[in-house]
Structure 1
Amino acid sequence: MTERELERLLFDAKRDESLKAALLKTRETDNPVEDFCELALSLGYKINAGELMALGLNENDAKLRSVNGGGVNAIEGWDDAYEQFFSSLIWSK
């Protein structure tokens, strides 16, 4: 569910400059993940910090399991759905 909500939020933010700016502004706070989630929740997107962090971890673990022991090291950056979201948002036009 969190993954779909992130996709929906990203889709909307790519089309709404004020939403994009508000999301990017959360990265400048003392608690960026919490503030990002609070903003998302206030706008109707069901994203919370625990599920957001678990999403990246679960995806990374699934990728490691899929190689049946052939790849023992995680690929850096694949486990961070939060950072992936912002990478996509920042580079969107």
Structure 2
Amino acid sequence: MIEIELERLLKDAKADPDLKIALLKTRAGNNPVEDFCAFCRSKGYDINAGELFTVGMTASDAKLRSVNGGGVNAIDGWDDAYEQFFSTLIWTN
């Protein structure tokens, strides 16, 4: 599950300053999301762009299915897992 991989990566990056710097450098390329995912896979983390972009959509879909058509509103937007990951990474030591 990608959420678990992102948590594991964040924990490892907090403990390893070189990993954190390398992850931040992936944002400077022409295709930062793909660069990030390729780097992660090269380090043994099962992270790919498709799953990264569908994390929020999956949560929204699950919410709608859980009420079996009842009176629940869809989530207007969902969190961007890629941006959330980097926001957390940047602001942590």
* TM-score computed with the length of structure 2 as normaliser: 0.83
Q: What percent of counterpart residues are identical?
A: 62
Kindly indicate whether the alpha-carbon contact (under 8 Å) linking 2:60 and 2:74 is maintained by their aligned counterparts in 1: no
1:36: which partner in 2? 36
Bigger radius of gyration, 1 or 2?
2
Q: Over the residues paired in the alignment, what is the CA RMSD in angstroms?
A: 1.9
> Structure 2 stretches of 5 or more lacking a match?
none
After superposition, the C-alpha distances for 1:15-65 in whole angstroms (9 at most, x for unaligned) are 1110000000111110000000000000000000001111122224445x3
* TM-score computed with the length of structure 1 as normaliser: 0.83
2:76: which partner in 1? 74
The number of aligned residues is 90
> Structure 1 stretches of 5 or more lacking a match?
none
Runs of 4+ in 1 over 6 A off after TM superposition: none
Cα 1:79–1:70 shift into 2, 3 Å: same
